[in-house]
Amino acid sequence: MTTEAMTRPIVTIVQHIREQQRAFPTATGDLSWILSGIALATRIIQSYVRCAGIVDVLGSLGKENVQGELVQKLDIVANETILRCLAYRDIVGIMVSEEDDEPTIVKSPAEPGKYTVLFDPLDGSSNIDVNVSIGTIFSVLRYRDDVPESEGALPHCLQPGVQQVAAGYVVYGSSTVLAYTTGNGVHMFTLDPSIGAYVLHTDGVRMPDTGKMYSVNEAYLDSFPQGVRDYLAWAKTEESGGYGLRYIGSLVSDFHRTLLKGGVFLYPPTAKNPGGKLRLLYEANPLGFIAEQAGGAAMDFKGRVLERQPDSLHARTPLLIGSKSEVDRVMEFMR
């Protein structure tokens, strides 16, 4: 460990959130209470990830979730952990998970001042058995105050991404990293296992405006829109200056690299899935919020993804996300 590292102040995620709140005299502390619950849940999840192969969390359960995907044992562990850690936060009223068909109602929508938390408990879970980085993605919405109780929980969940008050993700990789935003920049933390806390390592993360990397599953190239195929063909030419392909197949991991290194991540519509495959509410929206807060951009190949109005809890979308100039370039090819 360097002298600089030993003398640098240790700022935990709880301390950081409280410092952020001081800039807003009207802040209630609600978001810090929610984010502390998510931080606790992800510390527990990473302990299971670290023990995969030792404890019985590898493999599938032999059944499919609402998405039509095979449910992994660790999916269920992660999902139940987040539900348990947030259920006792009295300001959390509704929770929406990729693994559950319907929202989990904790507090009646008639009670004011509550929040909806939406999450993908374990993104990239098909990579669990081969030890590839996986993660957790989350989004926080305020209850709508213009909706009568008779309309139930759905209107509080089906809000466009521009209404998010917080979002973030965790990557369980060579280290466990958490990034979050509350609309005032993106802040990144690393879990220090020696003290069991997330410690700040980058305040105000900025995505490079350009990047000579693209991330896409080119196995489906022939079914991509013509504009995407034209962009990928251009990226391989001398005129482009030479782009590199980086693709992990775990959304949160591919986005994390793009956030730090620049470039663009593409999950286009295909002939088989013209509406896209990524989940709008708890994958595209939170990562889009983070990308924009870091100076990047997020589109659905037609317009700004955060402006899309979801029509169902598990609505899907294509996603184009990354460095602003690279996203703009892809959109020029689409036009």
CA 225/CA 27 separation, integer angstroms: 45
**Residues in CB range of 294: below 8 A, 6 or more apart:** 181, 185, 186, 205, 206, 207, 259
What is the model's pLDDT at position 25? 55
Domain edges within the chain: 3-203, 213-334
The one-letter amino acid code at 234 reads: W
CA 277/CA 314 separation, integer angstroms: 10
What is the model's pLDDT at position 224? 97
Lateral strand order in the sheet of 244-245: 244-245, 213-215, 264-267, 319-322, 297-299
CA 141/CA 163 separation, integer angstroms: 7
Please report the beta strands in the chain, taking only residues with DSSP state E, as ranges in sequence order: 60-64, 70-72, 92-97, 104-105, 115-123, 134-142, 164-172, 176-181, 186-192, 197-203, 213-215, 244-245, 264-267, 278-279, 297-299, 316-317, 319-322
Q: How far is CA 247 from CA 217, 252, 275, 280, in A?
A: 7, 11, 21, 21
Give me the average pLDDT of each 10-residue run along the chain (335 residues). 59 83 66 91 90 51 52 82 89 92 81 84 80 92 86 92 97 93 95 91 94 95 96 95 93 97 97 94 98 98 97 96 97 95
What is the model's pLDDT at position 59? 47
What is the model's pLDDT at position 67? 56
Pick from 56, 59, 75, 55: nearest CA to 67: 75
What is the model's pLDDT at position 132? 82
Pick from 244, 289, 288, 251: nearest CA to 267: 251
Pairing of strands 176-181, 186-192: antiparallel
CA 164/CA 179 separation, integer angstroms: 15
Q: What's the predicted TM-score (pTM) here? A: 0.91
Span 3-203 CATH architecture: 2-Layer Sandwich (3.30)
What is the model's pLDDT at position 187? 97
What is the model's pLDDT at position 64? 53
Is CATH 3.40.190.80 what the domain over 213-334 is classified as, yes or no? Answer: yes
**Do 3-203 and 213-334 show the same overall fold?**
no
| Structure tokens given for 87 | 């259920």
